[in-house]
Each structure stands twice: as C-alpha cells, then as structure tokens.
Copies of this chain bind each other. A is one copy, B any other.
Amino acid sequence: MTTLDPEVAARLKRNADGLVCAVAQRRGTGEVLMVAWMDDEALALTLETRNATYFSRSRGKLWVKGETSGHTQRVHEVRLDCDGDTILLVVDQEGAACHTGAATCFDKDRLL
C-alpha cells in the first residue's frame, strides 16, 4: 500500500467515509471534467504516479481513471482547498472524461 505523506494527511479533513472530494479540471481550457472522491491511498497514488486515482463509493475500492476505458487523466497540478476537504486536479484528459462518452460530466444537463 502506498502511504500518503503524513504532513499532507494531517491537513486533510475527511468526511464520515474517510473521503475528500476531488474536482478534475482540464489543463489549458479550465473545463471542469468531473467530480469524484479520494481516500488517502487514492491521493497518495495520484501524487506518486500522476495518473488520477479515485475511490469508487459504489464499488468500495480504488479506481484508476481510464484503467478499463483508456480515458486516463495525466495529472499536472494537485491543490488542496482552504479547509482541507477538497482536492483540485489539473489534468490532461485522454478521450472522454464522462462514462457516458461525453467530453465532460457536465455537458448534457443545463439547468440555467
């Protein structure tokens, strides 16, 4: 198991499930691609491998983005927010970010 730098771990404010929110943004255009969740190991792996890795709440396990679809995210920046409960990833997205095949998870349903 890859462990997270204790200094970083100490700054995280995890929810009741031990997770922090993660927003993936496309490098260059700034498009918001998707929002997912990370546990400490997902964040440690993301920092170490630079391949965005999340924790799947539905499957209850780590999930390397694109491991089956090929739609990987190469990570260029990782930022933690002011209260330690949200991560921002700046990524180069391979192919579609959304499992529906859309470029981003926010493409299809505009309320305003």
Is A1 on the interface with B (CB-CB < 8 A)?
Answer: no
A32 touches B25 (CB 8 A): yes
Contact code string A74-95 (vs B, CB < 8 Å = 1, else 0) = 0111111111001110000000
Is A108 on the interface with B (CB-CB < 8 A)?
Answer: yes
A77 touches B34 (CB 8 A): no
CB distance from A71 to the nearest CB of B (A): 14
A82 touches B110 (CB 8 A): no
Give Cα A10–Cα B100 distance, bound, in whole angstroms: 20
Give Cα A106–Cα B32 distance, bound, in whole angstroms: 14
Q: Which residues of A contact B (CB under 8 A)?
A: 8, 11, 21, 23, 25, 29-32, 34-35, 43, 47, 50, 75-83, 86-88, 98-100, 102, 105-112
